[in-house]
Structure 1
Amino acid sequence: MASELTSVDSVGVERIGDKSFILHEVDPKETLFGISRRYNSPVSDIVNANPVLKGGLKIGQTIKVPYISMAEIPAGSVLHNVVPGETLFSISKKYGVTVESVMKDNGLKGNDLSVGQSLIIEPAVPIAVEKEPAPVVAVATTTVETKSETRAKAKEAKKAEDAVKEQEKIESSPKPEAIITEAPEVIAETSKPMVPGEWRSHTVQAGETLFSIASQYSARVEDLITWNALTSNNLQDGQVLKVGRGAMQESTVPVIGTPRVVSSVDEMMVEPADAATSGGFKNIKETGQAELIEGTGGHKKYLVLHRTAPVGTIMRVKNEENDVTIFARVVGTLPETGDNSKLIIKLSQAAFDQLKAVNGRFPVEVMY
């Protein structure tokens, strides 16, 4: 692998401690983003390995690009490079392993991944769990906290699965022609959820770089690239960039009325002409965090769990990191367990993938 990389580079390979680096000499017009794509190495890893980049990228400069050599990969394991839209959950399903094993093998502390990041995947050995129970030693080494989390996730996935089956049963039953029941409009007093503040912006000054701006606002370079749909790290004087959200604050949007039940599942695939006045929409808008409903990979419908919206409500969901929008059906109530207090919705696998989410938890705007 090292010989393949050095064949397109003019310097070579260096090993420092237990880490390997490609030594790359910067050519005219090259950018950090382009170099990261060339070697499948995240921009943040390159920046962390080269303190001199605080002053910007210079022609002729030699920088260290982190990479994982084949010799460092355990026997039987594979090297996976993260592509846009992938999550720890989707990668673990692809290789038939658990999220916990991927995090442990790669020393990850959270669910955040970077495009181009290299992960070592050690495929699991298939076990016929139906015929042979798990070894006692495996149970003994599992902590109480892990078992509790596993039971909570299994319970949540089972609840979502039952809600999906019930919804499919309702949709498959005969329906009266052109009958849509609309509930009377009632103002409901509820506690106000906490939502992120407005986007903060920064006007680029002469000599500033993505790295210096990210450091100024305690953000990541990859986030600045994602939030602003940048194709390189070249900036122009006067360019306005999104650099993060304001402090959490109470939502000012009241929960008013009960949306009507839509008569056809096809309606959630079609955006209405005017979302503020379209039938069933009461102009309720919320912003906050969204997350995947684990165990819904077998369904192709866009489904969500929400804290207050009635089952059957069609909800517009927008990924605020890339402005991708979908319409999804509410199939159950978001449980008040674990970290769910920090969320406003949970999404089925199909909805999560369609929104092209990069991280396991991401900001969304919902309207119904």
Structure 2
Amino acid sequence: MLEAVSVASRQLLVIDPCDECERLLQHVQAAGWALRRCRLDECGSLHGDVLLIRLGEALLQQPQALQALLRRSAASCVALLDGPGPARAEVAELIGEWFFAAHALPCEAEALLESLAQAQATTRLRSLQGERHPRQFLGNSSQTRALRKQIERCAGLEVPLLLTGERGSGKALLARLLHERSARAGKRYLRFDCAAPPAAHLEARLFGTGGALAVAAAGTLVLEDVAALDGAGQRRLLQHLQAHPGLHLLTISRGELEAAVRQGRLRDDLYRLLASQQLQTTPLREQRGDLLLLAEYFAKVYGAVIGRRHRRFSDEAIDAMAEHLWPGNVRELRNRVVRALVLAQGRQILARDLGLEPGQGQSTAVATLADYILRAERQALNDVLARYTNNMSQAARSLGISRPTFYRLLHKHRLR
């Protein structure tokens, strides 16, 4: 279970603070937090239990650097926004995907302190869960089943693979599964962000003896942000790959590589070599039938870590999740569920615990008996799908229905 954390151990990394932030930080420091302040370009090796990030205009003009920080940080994040009023759509999406909470300046110190304490709890929850991940893409939608088949087909290939898809849609999990199902499963697995090392160190870290490319000779190397390489770096990478055709190299793209080729920032011949085979993840909004199953999975796994009894999602939470567009995909879903486990007080997880608005687009009329029956059917189906992911016969038997009836209900509720 999550235990009380020593006040002396609370480390807060504050990124890009402003004068208004300093007033708040005096209260934060007085409450026992140890503070470190830095700019975005200075926080490379710095860590904290929580990141407090002021999302000012200057920081928002560096989206790639900001998202690189968020991807590699193991800490939960709290945002400070310049001024009241609704955030722009892209900022709201960023907050929903990556941040535990957001406060508009000026804000009350007590509210910020509460968010920081709760964010620290989510950091510890993730650290207790560690780097464990599902052994497969979960879900029963046609897209998920097709991707599982593609993983098995491509895992044995000794050619570069390009993994594409929206942010948060599971590309890192896809890379890990391809490694674990390959003949190199017992060898080293390394992710390398080409934008992370300073230019002076990139040569040694990527191309040097014992560098990242040496890993790919026996293990698996996953490259990110390849378009950040300069012309000389791209040329050397191309030459290395041409000279060593047996490397197990996976490249992750969120669409930026294709754009870089069109804009002339990435060599076309290098892109074609990296993309000799491609796999694509599916946005969560296009696999709605898997949504509740995934939410239940995260609630079960992370709930077990902190020793809390399983909480079901309320009807309003299920409705709110169904209406939400999930721009941050599965990563956003996981982060919202973890947040909800920390915040939930009652026997159910509510929409507000997930940081979602209940009832948007819903009729205010009282639900009919038929509505309740449909919800009960759907909940029962999701429960057995979560328990018997790959055994439809057992799932049908557990509900006391025939397999054809089970499949009819799956189609009725768009769960496959």
**Fold match, TM over 0.5?**
no
In which range does the TM-score fall when normalised by the shorter chain? under 0.3
More strand by share: 1
Q: TM-score, normalised by structure 1?
A: 0.25
Q: TM-score, normalised by structure 2?
A: 0.23
